[in-house]
Structure 1
């Protein structure tokens, strides 16, 4: 295990993560391949999630990401943390098998408040599948009307909790897009093949793929990301650690793929890079400890007031240096950055990189 203690080396973590997350180098070759590589991508904000995929696939437009969703080669559901993510269809069932039970237990109290029993979940399942198998995917509001008519009230978040339960049990899944909303589909019809893996093997695969796509990262990062018990995570590491490399930064062990670790010898890319990332992007949200890429004093500027809504971030050389927003519409729309440190404005090279990143984003939206 190589040890690195300097600030310069610690700041290298962000650039290595850019490489792991397909944000530097050649990027992914297609939308489905990118989502499969990333293992799971935060997707509760759909427009943000579309760009999170697009920024990692050179030349992709928003139509390409939407087409992958509409074809079912990328799916969106609640595989972990009670939060929507993009995943590859063949991975969703085994992820749900791993994580759903713990989440069900954690929200049991809320279900009691909402007067949701297991019989209610089964009734909602039957109502939903009867309607969808007869007439095809349905909007969320349409499904809630079906629930209400069938004696399962949806007010006061009861409807979304019923829908979430049905998705986590693998009966329903979010399917094709209808405008900026997704229709609800029957899992087995929308995803004819999704793997089933024994738990020990599944945790090991999850862990390996996370470190390959998100490394350098810690075991605690992964345990938080999946909400799997740390003891189980540590046991899984023994099965895959020979396929990973461990680096020590300031006394903390970080795991990553050998290919990305080798960049420390051949040259880590991204030293002059600048990326415009969406809110809720995995580069920021994919870790419980964000200090390697985001100074703690700037956290409130990313999530104002700790309200859980993450702003779009500007990332230079693997560090979050500010936020950005799209202002205006049509031909007058423009990317407007807001630096954390206004006393340190962008130099000419960074200004050019920002203009290039902004053009890439506008092209994505237009295609």
Structure 2
């Protein structure tokens, strides 16, 4: 069995994730395909993940891809997370990871609306509510905000209270329809770093909507792309990232003729059969990645790039904060002061040349942001700490 060292894994990461000098790509679309998908829970992450990988990126480049060409599309999928997908990957994710989320959301919503006293038949209520939402959006090709949709449909414009907490029925309906690919987050009425999405029908947004693939084919294609981006990865990595089952993962790996390799921690990873060669040495590199960047969130087993720094770089729910990288290892995080100046905080010692390179990258990001401050709800202990070696 071929052995893949942690050094090789870090070299692969640099090249495949378009982070090392000479490997960066030329467009938001290329950056997204390199990463399989981009996290979009926080709108700014999409822009900052592209900035880290695309040479000479402008805000308008990302806006064009998202809202002009619509070559990148936001879709609720793996682990009930909002991602940006390359348009051509949508038919694969709709019947697989997105459908799994949609089924879970529907079952939960049916139970909750019955327990809340809104109806005696949750499935019927969901069908009627969904039909009303689709009818309202059918009359608005340019889309409507979630608030406008709720105000237009009295049956979902409620706060349903049940034992143990409150359930916003309207949000649950919209979440289900989004996972089901009936509706999509279209243009953003707010600033690029904030979320004021307008909802519209998928058919309005894409024009001709491609037919979904078979679920098994969809899972196999997503696993194939993940292996190219993140391989070698373990079954556990894939189960976690895809939010699926071992059966689904093992079937996809078998159909792809994936090759088992041994990892430095003693585990078994998987590579595509045409991706067994060692990568070229990427040389020295640094990167500043945003909250929930797909590189940081790509694996469940993260020791080969986090080392001892897992706890300070993630919040209590496992969400990654900002990260600073040197040669494939996370060495700290970055924050902004009140004036928007980016500062790198270290969790340990780095070489003088690495420190200079990180500071230069921080200056470049400060200039690109132009005084704008990026807020987040995912602050980590490292981001909050005043004890970092700044």
Aligned to 1:269: 282
Relative to structure 1, is the Cα distance of residues 123 and 361 closer, same or farther in structure 2, using a 3 angstrom cutoff? farther
Displacement after TM superposition at 1:102 (Å): 3.3
CA distance in 2, matches of 1:96, 1:154: 29
Preserved contact between residue 245 and residue 258 of structure 1 (Cα < 8 Å): no
Counterpart pick for 1:361 among 343, 362, 365: 365
What TM-score do you get using the length of structure 1 for normalisation? Answer: 0.86
CA distance in 1, matches of 2:88, 2:337: 38
Q: Deviations over 1:9-60 (max 9, x none)?
A: 3244233222222222422222123223422222111112221122122211
Indicate the SS of the match to 2:256: helix
CA distance in 2, matches of 1:220, 1:170: 27
Preserved contact between residue 328 and residue 334 of structure 1 (Cα < 8 Å): yes
Aligned to 1:120: 125
Indicate the SS of the match to 2:306: coil
Aligned to 2:237: 221
What TM-score do you get using the length of structure 2 for normalisation? Answer: 0.81
CA distance in 1, matches of 2:123, 2:98: 15
Counterpart pick for 2:342 among 320, 335, 340: 335
CA distance in 1, matches of 2:61, 2:133: 29
Displacement after TM superposition at 1:104 (Å): 4.2
Aligned to 1:352: 356
Aligned to 1:183: 198
Aligned to 2:18: 22
Indicate the SS of the match to 1:205: helix
Q: Identify, as 1 or 2, the structure richer in helix.
A: 1
Indicate the SS of the match to 1:289: coil
Q: Which has the higher contact order (CA 8 A, sep 6+)?
A: 1
Displacement after TM superposition at 1:285 (Å): 0.9
CA distance in 2, matches of 1:170, 1:110: 17
Relative to structure 1, is the Cα distance of residues 299 and 224 closer, same or farther in structure 2, using a 3 angstrom cutoff? same
CA distance in 1, matches of 2:204, 2:277: 43
Preserved contact between residue 60 and residue 364 of structure 1 (Cα < 8 Å): no
Indicate the SS of the match to 1:56: coil
CA distance in 2, matches of 1:320, 1:260: 25
1:322 aligns with 2:332: yes
1:2 aligns with 2:2: yes
Displacement after TM superposition at 1:363 (Å): 4.4
Structure 2 spans left out of the alignment, 5+ residues: 161-166, 373-390
CA distance in 1, matches of 2:276, 2:367: 33
Q: Deviations over 1:334-365 (max 9, x none)?
A: 21122112xx2x43311221133223323443
Relative to structure 1, is the Cα distance of residues 260 and 178 closer, same or farther in structure 2, using a 3 angstrom cutoff? farther
Structure 1 spans left out of the alignment, 5+ residues: none
Preserved contact between residue 39 and residue 213 of structure 1 (Cα < 8 Å): yes
Preserved contact between residue 344 and residue 362 of structure 2 (Cα < 8 Å): no
Indicate the SS of the match to 1:200: helix
Displacement after TM superposition at 1:133 (Å): 2.2
Preserved contact between residue 274 and residue 353 of structure 1 (Cα < 8 Å): yes
